[in-house]
Structure 1
Amino acid sequence: MKSNQKLNLQAVDRVKTISPKDFVEKYVKPQKPVVIEQLTHEWPAYKKWSLSYLKEIAGEIEVPLYDNRPVSAKDKFNEPHAKMKLKDYVDLLKKGPTDYRIFLFNMMKEVPELQEHFKMPNLGVNFLKKLPFLFFGAENSSVFMHYDIDFANILHIHFEGKKRCIIYPPSETKYLYKVPNALISLNEIDFNNPDLEKFPALKLAKGYEAYLEHGEALYMPEGYWHNMTYLTPGFSMSLRTLPRSAKNLSKAVYNLTIMRGFENIMRKLKGDQWIEHKNKVAYTRQERRIEKELHGE
């Protein structure tokens, strides 16, 4: 254990409710995160949604599953590692820890009645009505530190149990061991128990931490890195808006077209050598950068 080694994190601002004007002026424009504690209290979902409820109304749906295996050339972007009926997956979650997670799943498309259980928040920004994605995880399951391919502003709403969120603004990318031509940090880094001797640049990264409970919503501005850990079995829903910045919108288009296409080609041509090369570059490049910073070059 490395319990004496801590990341440089501050608590995310918390509000019970917030007006559209304050949300835009205090958080969206300055691109600052916030937790809204009572956003969902008037939604039917606040009382209805639980793992047991989703098992009951959507149990026969086949869902894509992902685990924490190292990135492999055999896998395409966001290709699932397994599939299972939702009812069986919920049973698996309740039995105990498992690495299998559901990631970016549009359950509203499969079960339209779920759309009646929530409404798009009135926060002064336009959320995309067709893209409410769900995410599920077991106790202690965690996702690699990453940022989203589309640079969306995200409202991440948690249901059932408790979740820990570690997030970093884009300004801290230079300290996060970003893998080239990818959206992730080196996946051997455990952000819940980091080895700061092996990855010293993490000590320089200034981030945020939030704990979410049932019905609470975390606003993550565009391009924010995030690592989510389920402290208990649970699930979350993300609502998204397009990037406000023209620069980030162009980055999103690049990621969705050129970067993703090039990555799939290189994995096919070079195999796992390509993955190993990128991981090595991420580490050595970071070491050179921190060496320059520490010596003021």
Structure 2
Amino acid sequence: MKHEWLERDNIVRRKGISVDEFVLGFETPNKPILLEGCLDKWPALKKWDRDYLVEVCGDNRFAVGPAQMTLTDYFVYSDQAQEERPLYLFDPKFANKVPQLGQDRLRSSVGSGSSFHIDPNSTSAWNAVVKGSKKWVLFPPDVVPPRVYPSSDGAEVSCHVSIT
């Protein structure tokens, strides 16, 4: 691996970038970027906390790995999770189950994460950290990370241990 890949913060950070600049400088050449300030005016930043989300979500059950859990149960689980690959709350029908939240989507909570994977249909990820911090490790498209084994067509990835 190249030394610069291992540097802590080597992804371009930009605030107030135009759509054209984003498409030409990052989307078209397939380069990662950290967009700053995108959530500054998002009402959920002030409104969303555990109590509010638990109240709004009520008894709705959400996809958490292979299981279905209420948000209350997920918070209990995530507070105690110590396994290397904790379950990740990701429910594509989240907004349908909780219309009050509209287009807002809850992707994860404390202690969540995912192993190496390829997003379906070659999608690009848009992630936002509402509270706390999140760590991403990105590799160039032509580099297979250590101990990661892609299928011959590149559609699936298996990994026996995490990057940590």
Instruction: Give the TM-score normalised by structure 1.
Output: 0.46
Higher strand proportion, which one? 1
- Write the distance in 2 (CA, Å) between the matches of 1:150 and 1:52: 35
Alignment match, 1:90:
75
1:141-173 Cα offsets, whole Å, 9 max, x none, are 431101112111221112221110112232224
Greater relative CO, 1 or 2 (CA 8 Å, sep 6+):
1
User: For the structure 1 residues 104 and 12, does the alpha-carbon distance in structure 2 shift closer, same or farther, using more than 3 Å as the test?
Assistant: farther
Report if aligned partners of 1:100, 1:138 keep a CA contact under 8 Å in 2.
no
State the SS of the aligned residue for 2:120: coil
Alignment match, 2:124:
153
Alignment match of 2:140 (pick from 164, 169, 182) = 169
Alignment match, 2:159:
187
Higher helix proportion, which one? 1
Alignment match, 1:178:
150
Deviation of the 1:40 alpha carbon = 1.0
Alignment pair present for 1:112 and 2:99 = yes
Alignment match, 2:58:
59
Report if aligned partners of 2:63, 2:89 keep a CA contact under 8 Å in 1.
yes
User: For the structure 1 residues 34 and 188, does the alpha-carbon distance in structure 2 shift closer, same or farther, using more than 3 Å as the test?
Assistant: same
Deviation of the 1:95 alpha carbon = 4.5
> Percent same amino acid among aligned pairs?
26
- Write the distance in 2 (CA, Å) between the matches of 1:172 and 1:94: 34
Q: What's the C-alpha RMSD, in Å, of the aligned pairs?
A: 2.7
For structure 1, the 5+ residue unaligned runs are 1-5, 67-79, 118-132, 193-297
Instruction: Give the TM-score normalised by structure 2.
Output: 0.78
User: For the structure 1 residues 9 and 153, does the alpha-carbon distance in structure 2 shift closer, same or farther, using more than 3 Å as the test?
Assistant: same
Amino acid at match of 2:159: N
Alignment pair present for 1:16 and 2:18 = no
Report if aligned partners of 2:15, 2:36 keep a CA contact under 8 Å in 1.
yes
User: For the structure 1 residues 64 and 116, does the alpha-carbon distance in structure 2 shift closer, same or farther, using more than 3 Å as the test?
Assistant: closer
Amino acid at match of 1:109: N
Which entry has the higher C-alpha Rg, 1 or 2? 1
